[in-house]
Chains A and B, each alone.
Chain A
């Protein structure tokens, strides 16, 4: 039998992935997830003032957070795809360009990038706040996803490309029909993790007064002066969302391993 290389790639950037072996009733994930939900339910029941008001105040923010996250991940995936392809390109110019982009973005904190796009570049083109936020997040995460795409593309055995070329396909046909579909499969879990990381980082956009989850909390707290209560709820809501998503990623990964030979 030929030795079949595992096409899994290891990139840990986003949330902690629950241990797949951990199936006990009191796994860390369950304790944290259901604990957080229980607290979120109990607090407004026991102390309707102010917790019920807080809970009523933030759903718009949750939606906005998801809006920023989903829009950003979509654009980041597109940027990431081309960056990843650029990183493995044989054309020196394209290769360098992609590499420089990755290096530059990874070397600048996201918060600084946000400021730069909204305030510094705003001197030339003033984009709306939400657009600025999505542009900055996509630009930043495009580089991270580019590296995931690169790793994914390189994880596909060389023989796949050779077989496609030998059959008469062009290089771009081979990439589209043979390499990319396999790459997408391999990178799903790491992309899921990036999605979670992006969702958490999206709280930074509140600095541009985009009314995301954190911003809504801030608005509530600054009028009611209930800082402790408000930020407790905000933290718990983030926690429940990310724990839920990281479970999804873990399940996805588990299923992938089942499909592997």
Chain B
């Protein structure tokens, strides 16, 4: 981990109609850092995450990925999105493409790589997520855990510098959560910068450098997993943790 921030969020405000999803969030994430964001539903954690690659447009505030402004309307958001991978709660694999095509689609469309090269990278990634034998399967033929691992491989195929995870295990049956977390753990160990919205305590303790607790559109408390889980300072954090532990 080096000390320069790769993601900088300044005074992020997002309103949906009359609802204030984010009410002024400041956050910096360093290269190689793994940050877990927790909080009750409606606390704005997903909105914050989705603002980083501009799937949500902030009402106010600024976000940078490295030196590139995400929030500036004139900046090339596609270039930024190439560098920022995202994994969704509902996997969102392309259902008309098989596993290999899912992974090679973006590199072939967006980057100038050859078919062969893209397939080679995809196979390497599939091996890495433990699905080397599934390259011709269609998403509907895979379990949720397998789909999510393919989704991670699909993101990695663009060789991103940051990975965003939006509740990656919430839609999974319990027995499949571990296979996904294991892949994420490996990624963390390899030094990937990760911003994860999740309540997986085990993952937090094993991999997170920092845990952030959000409520009502604000960061209420942050610290190491040990601090937050064992010794929370804010009453709201305590109450929330009592609920989920």
Contact = CB atoms under 8 A, between A and B. Distances in A.
Nearest to B141: A261
Interface stretch (A92-100, A101-109, A168-176): A168-176
Nearest to A181: B96
Range class of the A interface residue count: 20 to 34
A159 interface: yes
A2 B55 CA distance: 21
B44 interface: no
Contact of B110 (A162, A167, A182, A259): A167
Interface in B70-106: 78-79, 81-82, 84-86, 88-96, 105-106
A165 interface: yes
A167 B92 contact: no
Chain A contact residues, majority secondary structure: helix
Given A2-B89, A2-B144, A169-B109, A178 B78 contact: no
Contact of A159 (B53, B88, B154, B158): B88
Nearest to A162: B55
Contacts of B90: 2, 157, 159
Contact of B91 (A2, A169, A170, A260): A2
B23 to A, nearest CB: 24
Given A1-B173, A167-B81, A168-B78, A157 B92 contact: yes
Contacts of B241: none
Interface of A: 1-2, 157, 159-160, 162-170, 173, 177-178, 181-182, 185, 259-261
Given A169-B109, A261-B140, 6 more contacts: A159-B91, A160-B94, A165-B55, A166-B155, A167-B155, A169-B78
Interface of B: 53, 55, 78-79, 81-82, 84-86, 88-96, 105-106, 109-110, 140, 144, 151, 154-155, 158, 171-173
11 contacts: A1-B144, A1-B171, A2-B144, A163-B86, A163-B151, A167-B82, A169-B106, A177-B109, A178-B94, A178-B105, A182-B95
